[in-house]
Amino acid sequence: MKVVILSDVHANLPALEAVLEDVARTAPGAPIWHCGDVVGYGASPNEVVAELQRVGATGVMGNHDLAALGDNVIETFNEGAHAAALWTREVLTAESRSWLRALPKVLEMGSATIVHASLRDPIMEYVVQQEIAEENLRALATPLLFHGHTHIPALWSLQDGVAHATHIGTEAISLRTGSLVNAGSVGQPRDRDPRAAWLLWERDELGAGLGTATWRRVEYNIPAAQEAIDAAGLPDFLASRLDVGR
């Protein structure tokens, strides 16, 4: 059974559309889970919410979603993120707002837990260091955790009590019990690869193992996303960074 995991779409409609086309080719009909930050930075928050609703995506709240709903987490944002969050607050429809507000911070889906940032701090903690990965892995009650927030694909797993990071390539990687699986970002990748990222989880039909994870990268119409950001009057930096993926 295939499961599609998307994270950090960030109101980038061209990126989401390209990803959903790739999903339709590689995992038609598979359930879609998302790890939050649906909005913020990009110029199409309502369209992205509508698209995720259309495909029946199930997921969690991110720090940018919270900020767009009026939360004071916005005080932790840099200038560009802050400006985008204020803009998003203005343009969100009542329908988008109520869909976002209903997102939980933690979601358990069988053998996997879904959060935006980390298990012990679902909204803000960046899992970028071995120590942080280890503490989260020790607290993990399900075999897997799917998350995002860093905008960088990553896989941490406990081996003999120590957190190891596995190199992410294009091939499928077997998942072991006790893993933090970061889906990367659909709408604003930061690993110097500007293509949209999404994660395909192919579960083991026999139930003996956890199956494999494959990180997919998809080219999309970056100029269209940039033009929408410019037209919305959002900071130039939010458009230009999409070219370089950082």
* Interface segment toward Zn ion; rule CB under 5 A; list 7-15, 86-94, 176-184, 191-199: 7-15
Q: Distance of CA 107 to CAs 127, 147, 188, Å? A: 18, 11, 23
- Nearest approach in angstroms of CB 9 to Zn ion is 9
Q: Which is nearer to Zn ion, 8 or 51 (CB)?
A: 8
**Judged by CB under 5 A, how many residues of this single chain contact Zn ion?**
2
Amino acid, res. 41: Y
DSSP, residue by residue, 189-236: --SS--SEEEEEEE--TTSSS--EEEEEEE---HHHHHHHHHHTT--H
* Interface segment toward Zn ion; rule CB under 5 A; list 6-14, 22-30, 73-81, 138-146: 6-14
* Interface segment toward Zn ion; rule CB under 5 A; list 1-9, 14-22, 76-84, 236-244: 1-9
Q: Which is nearer to Zn ion, 46 or 182 (CB)?
A: 182
Which of 8, 51, 125, 191 lies at the binding interface for Zn ion (CB under 5 A)?
Answer: 8
Region of residue 207 (phi > 0: left; psi between -120 and 50: alpha; otherwise: beta): left
Q: Distance of CA 3 to CAs 33, 141, 144, 230, Å? A: 7, 20, 13, 34
Q: Distance of CA 84 to CAs 62, 89, 138, 167, 206, Å? A: 15, 9, 35, 33, 46
Q: Which is nearer to Zn ion, 8 or 22 (CB)?
A: 8
Site string for Zn ion, 29-48 (x = CB under 5 A): --------x-----------
Question: Using the rule CB under 5 A, is 65 a contact of Zn ion?
Answer: no
Q: Which is nearer to Zn ion, 37 or 51 (CB)?
A: 37
Q: Which is nearer to Zn ion, 77 or 120 (CB)?
A: 77
Give the binding site for Zn ion (CB under 5 A).
8, 37
